[in-house]
A and B are shown apart, each in its own frame.
Chain A
Amino acid sequence: MSMDAQLIEHMMNPKNYGTLEGADAQGIGKNPENGEKVAIYIRVGKDEEELYVDDIRFQAIGCTTTVLAGSMLTEEAKGLNFNGVQNLVEATMKLLDRLPPEDAACSEMVALAIKAAVDTYEKRKSDPDYPVITYKVVNSCVPKDDNMKAINNQKEGR
């Protein structure tokens, strides 16, 4: 990971970290491979009949990359209407191929947690007791070096 000032600022002061009092919904993104997870809390507002993310927080059991992704994506999601949130999630998922595997899994986990929170909110409109939705990542959180070793070992038939 090459580091610029913006990235370091997010590391030093992750935006929107913590729980959210009076949250309307929660969503979880989880990596079943290593037990890492991200919890997203949203408070929903209504503007001219359109629902939007009025406030958002996240917590993470994970590495610094997950916290970075949480800090950046929650900043982007804040204020977006639900269509905008879905677009943000889709755009993030499309970018994952360009990231190293360990970074891809972290960003995917955050994006899925945001989607889970919005989906939980939608489900609770008809069923207030609907449980918090958890989505699992498909990307593997294997560090680049180990991944290359694994690929080379596979090529050599080990």
Chain B
Amino acid sequence: MKTIMIKTHEAWLATLMAGFMSKTENKQVLFDFSDILFRHFTWLENELIELGESYSYDRDAIPIKVEKLSDLLHDIEKRLSEIDLQLLSSPDKHLNGRIATDIKYIRDVLLHMEDEDITAFSMERKFPGIDLTEEATDALTLFLFEETYKEYELIMIYNYLKAHSNDAYLNRIFQILIDESFFHLKSFGDMGAKMGILAVPRMVMKELYQVEDVVQFLKNGINEELAAKEECKKLSEAVAKDSPELEKFFDFINHQENYHISLMEDALKHFEKGNNA
């Protein structure tokens, strides 16, 4: 079961990356499939928790540098085929059945997708239709690397917290934060692909998501969100002269952080109230 979870984690990320690379109607289909694989990942995680088995979010590096989309799609298809085979020896037949029927359909669609040339690794660092200065380009490059990882990290942390909590109020907050981080991850991943610097976020260290002190984690998280707001503000100012469109986008992301902070403050209050009761 642990191996299936790790393989599903890798297949989820590979499919998400394929979505970033695509410039056609394939994109939305790949995003939808990656969402389904993420859900499989959470189901398998819950199964491991119910069985009382220890697990982690460790995984292998995922090579995605391809010239044709079909090369990555074949790789994903192979990954899914391996998962499908391993499901046969897994104990929960109902769960396996649900996952296997999804995988069967996804594999079939992937193999029949229209092929595309990939430019997501060109390293050109030019945003289509926008002429940024070298300074703004460097600032945007660094921001995209930092924040793509950060959003992935947040998804993994909130997902772990949610998987280990039976508190409906907190889980509602964690789910909203997961959804918000997915939106940001997809936005930044898409931008990275357009700039020719698409990369798989690095693996998250265990001690980050296996949170021992949730109160401290939330307090630190609020400070990090405040820092992220500052980064968005700086970036918005750096690109304002060259691109009002990007300026508006980073202001929008900046304002979204207010909502995250407010949710984390709610979670903090709720947690502290529970601890004091």
Q: Which residues of A are at the interface with B, using a C-beta cutoff of 8 A?
A: 1-3, 5, 8-9, 11-14, 17-19, 35, 39, 59-61, 63-64, 67
Give CA–CA (A139, B156) in the complex, Å. 31
Q: Which residue of B lies closest to A18 (CB)?
A: B203
Q: Which residues of B are at the interface with A, using a C-beta cutoff of 8 A?
A: 58, 60-61, 65, 121, 123, 125, 138, 141-142, 145-146, 149, 197-199, 202-203, 205, 207-208, 220
Give CA–CA (A5, B146) in the complex, Å. 18
Q: Which residues of A contact B123 (CB under 8 A)?
A: 5, 8-9, 12
Of B121, B138, B146, B208, the residue contacting A61 (CB under 8 A) is B208
Whether A11 pairs with B145 at a CB distance below 8 angstroms is: yes
Whether B61 pairs with A18 at a CB distance below 8 angstroms is: yes
Give CA–CA (A12, B123) in the complex, Å. 9
In the complex, how many angstroms separate the beta carbon of B229 from the nearest chain A beta carbon?
Answer: 15
Whether A2 pairs with B197 at a CB distance below 8 angstroms is: no
Q: Which residues of A contact B198 (CB under 8 A)?
A: 12
Whether A19 pairs with B145 at a CB distance below 8 angstroms is: no
Give CA–CA (A3, B145) in the complex, Å. 13
Report if A1-B138 is in contact (Cβ < 8 Å); known contacts: A12-B199, A17-B203, A39-B205.
Answer: yes
Q: Which residue of B lies closest to A17 (CB)?
A: B202
Give CA–CA (A63, B142) in the complex, Å. 10
Of B61, B65, B142, the residue contacting A1 (CB under 8 A) is B142
Whether B205 pairs with A63 at a CB distance below 8 angstroms is: no
Whether A67 pairs with B138 at a CB distance below 8 angstroms is: no
Whether A59 pairs with B203 at a CB distance below 8 angstroms is: yes
In the complex, how many angstroms separate the beta carbon of A78 from the nearest chain B beta carbon?
Answer: 16
Report if A67-B202 is in contact (Cβ < 8 Å); known contacts: A2-B138, A5-B123, A11-B145.
Answer: yes
Report if A19-B58 is in contact (Cβ < 8 Å); known contacts: A8-B197, A59-B205.
Answer: yes
In the complex, how many angstroms separate the beta carbon of B105 from the nearest chain A beta carbon?
Answer: 32
Give CA–CA (A19, B202) in the complex, Å. 12
Whether A13 pairs with B199 at a CB distance below 8 angstroms is: yes
Of A12, A18, A39, the residue contacting B197 (CB under 8 A) is A12
Q: Which residues of B contact A64 (CB under 8 A)?
A: 142, 145-146, 149
In the complex, how many angstroms separate the beta carbon of A120 from the nearest chain B beta carbon?
Answer: 18
Q: Which residues of A contact B146 (CB under 8 A)?
A: 63-64
Give CA–CA (A59, B142) in the complex, Å. 19
In the complex, how many angstroms separate the beta carbon of A84 from the nearest chain B beta carbon?
Answer: 26
In the complex, how many angstroms separate the beta carbon of A79 from the nearest chain B beta carbon?
Answer: 20
